Structure 1
Amino acid sequence: MIISKQFIFDAAHFLPNVPDGHKCKNIHGHTYHLTVLIDGPLQENLGWVIDYGDLKKAIAPVIEQVDHQLLNNIPGLENPTSEMLVVWIWQQIKPVLPLLKRLELYETPTSGVIYEG
């Protein structure tokens, strides 16, 4: 069974490796939407795969690191494209959520990335 929970955070970034004149070379911000998908067996005695509260607690330290921050200042995110950001988030979450199946990260309502490790 796959369950999901969505998280929202705001952060700024700039893309240092794009050509001069590209609009993303300048600092700008996004309201990111992160969906975390967990794949695991239904624990029939509890009636769930994982407690959503436990899922929220596992993700909270990662969200705290990026919310209202300049992503370029976070070690490992010096070039914080959506693709690099979702890989970084995966690396933070996977050790504490071994049932992690997939991350979906949207930087705008129409632009995002899906990562499955």
Structure 2
Amino acid sequence: MYTITKEFHFSASHQLSHLPDGHQCARLHGHNYVVVVELRAKELNADGFVRDYGELKPLKTYIDETFDHRHLDDVLDFVSTGENMARHLYEWCAQHWPETTAVKVSETPKTWAEYRP
């Protein structure tokens, strides 16, 4: 099995207002997000790739136009946790590239959420 990953970055704010008073994430705050998409294939294509990295540019465009420098609670119809973001981005990627196997989202250098069906 061959695996490739590509990393994308964006900055955004959110607020998990459903959390109890005093919880740091209940306050309005922001993150410098890192998104990693993973694709796998049993065989390489004729060019020797799982998929050409350049073909993943639509994900960068989607992230930049939809999430970058925005308040996530204004653009999402779900609770803006890293876990939910990972699933949302996985579903978007899987519609474009069937080789998609996982998406990871980091809100801080020490935290990661991953969606892998």
TM (normalized to structure 1)?
0.90
State how far apart, in whole Å, the 2-side matches of 1:75 and 1:107 are.
16
CA change 1:80–1:94 in 2 (3 A) is: same
Aligned pair 1:18/2:19, yes or no? yes
1:61 Cα deviation after fit: 3.7
Report % sequence identity: 32
Contact 1:12–1:70 (8 Å) recurs in 2: yes
| Partner AA of 1:21 in structure 2 | G
SS at match of 1:94: helix
Number of aligned residue pairs: give it. Answer: 114
Question: Residue by residue, what CA displacement relative to the aligned partner does 1:59-117 show, whole Å, maximum 9, x if unpaired?
Answer: 1243121111101011323x211111111212222111111011111110001112113
1:56 Cα deviation after fit: 2.1
TM (normalized to structure 2)?
0.90
State how far apart, in whole Å, the 2-side matches of 1:9 and 1:69 are.
9
State how far apart, in whole Å, the 2-side matches of 1:75 and 1:7 are.
19
1:1-117 map, 5 Å: 1-40=2-41, 41-43=43-45, 45-57=46-58, 59-63=59-63, 64-77=65-78, 79-117=79-117
State how far apart, in whole Å, the 2-side matches of 1:75 and 1:114 are.
18
State how far apart, in whole Å, the 1-side matches of 2:87 and 2:17 are.
18
1:3 Cα deviation after fit: 0.5
1:30 Cα deviation after fit: 0.4
State how far apart, in whole Å, the 1-side matches of 2:8 and 2:116 are.
17
RMSD between superposed Cα atoms in Å: 1.3
